[in-house]
């Protein structure tokens, strides 16, 4: 009796506020501490507030259509992982149902270089929208809860981060510069051949 239970979204079991009786200040402090849910859905009415509530400048973002069979299956995996890690204050996953944001789908696909017709999960840098996404090779073979949890642990430990994507971009730039240098060398060789003919 006289327990105060706090329910997070998508959680089957509540968090019971410890100790009692509770003062108003204690209740407010507890709610503020647990305000950021482990799994939260991006909604049009509070999307900006949710997006601004990042963890160290990043968001773990999952795209899944709830009405799509693959999306629904992936969402169940997300819920299971969230339920197993609800005590982790460093974990918060934003679930986005593309069906709720039809006008933003082309922008997200172009910005993140992903196909939103199938489930996706990645880590996004909120300052420059740089991102890295879990490699789900076969949409018919979605990651298991253990595989998804391991990937999330790699994100939280820094093993997977958006800076990896920057390194790839730099390599691409270097390759482009090398190609330009090769073209310049070929032009010089052609000029030398013309001088010899003269």
- Residue ranges per domain, the chain? 37-175
pTM over 0.85: no
Nearest CA to 61 out of 29, 92, 18 is that of 92
* Strands of the sheet with 120-125, listed across from one edge: 39-41, 93-96, 58-63, 120-125, 131-133
> Cα(83)–Cα(80) distance, rounded to whole angstroms?
5
**In percent, how much of the chain has pLDDT > 70?**
67
| Confidence class for position 174, pLDDT limits 50, 70, 90 | low
The CB density around residue 111, as the number of other CB atoms within 10 Å, is 13
Q: Is the pLDDT of residue 46 over 90?
A: no
Q: What integer pLDDT is reported at residue 11 of this predicted model?
A: 64
Q: Look at phi and psi of residue 16 and say left if phi exceeds 0, alpha if psi is from -120 to 50, else beta.
A: beta
Count of residues in the chain: 198
What CATH number does domain 37-175 carry, 2.40.160.20, 1.10.12.10, 3.40.190.10, 3.40.30.10? 3.40.30.10
> Cα(169)–Cα(148) distance, rounded to whole angstroms?
26
In this structure, are strands 15-16 and 39-41 parallel, antiparallel, or unpaired? unpaired
Tens digits of residue pLDDT in 27-44 = 777 766 666 678 899 999
Q: What integer pLDDT is reported at residue 196 of this predicted model?
A: 53
Question: Does residue 152 or residue 19 have the better pLDDT?
Answer: 152
Q: Is the pLDDT of residue 186 over 60?
A: no
Q: Is the pLDDT of residue 150 over 90?
A: yes
Q: Is the pLDDT of residue 156 over 60?
A: yes
DSSP 8-state class, residue 81 = H
Q: What integer pLDDT is reported at residue 85 of this predicted model?
A: 86
| Confidence class for position 13, pLDDT limits 50, 70, 90 | low
The CB density around residue 181, as the number of other CB atoms within 10 Å, is 10
Tens digits of residue pLDDT in 86-135 = 878 888 899 999 999 999 999 999 999 999 999 999 999 988 889 999 99
E strand or H helix that includes residue 6: strand 5-6
Q: Which residues contact 77 (CB under 8 A, 6 or more apart)?
A: 142, 143, 144, 145, 148
């Amino acid at each position: 009796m006289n327990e105060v239970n706090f329910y997070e979204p998508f959680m089957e079991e509540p968090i019971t506020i410890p100790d009692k009786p509770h003062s108003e200040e204690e209740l407010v402090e507890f709610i503020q501490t647990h305000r950021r849910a482990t799994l939260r859905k991006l909604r049009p009415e509070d999307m900006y507030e949710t997006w601004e509530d990042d963890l160290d400048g990043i968001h773990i973002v999952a795209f899944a259509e709830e009405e799509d069979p693959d999306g629904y299956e992936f969402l169940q995996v997300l819920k299971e992982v969230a339920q197993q890690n609800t005590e982790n204050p460093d974990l918060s996953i934003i679930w986005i149902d593309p069906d709720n944001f039809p006008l933003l789908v082309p922008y997200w696909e172009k910005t993140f270089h992903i196909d939103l017709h199938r489930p996706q999960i990645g880590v996004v840098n909120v300052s420059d929208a740089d991102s890295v996404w879990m490699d789900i090779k076969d949409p018919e073979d979605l990651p298991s809860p253990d595989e998804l949890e391991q990937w999330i642990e790699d994100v939280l430990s820094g093993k997977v981060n958006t800076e990896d994507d920057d390194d790839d971009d730099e390599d691409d730039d270097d390759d482009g510069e090398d190609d330009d240098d090769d073209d310049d060398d070929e032009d010089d060789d052609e000029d030398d051949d013309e001088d010899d003919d003269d």
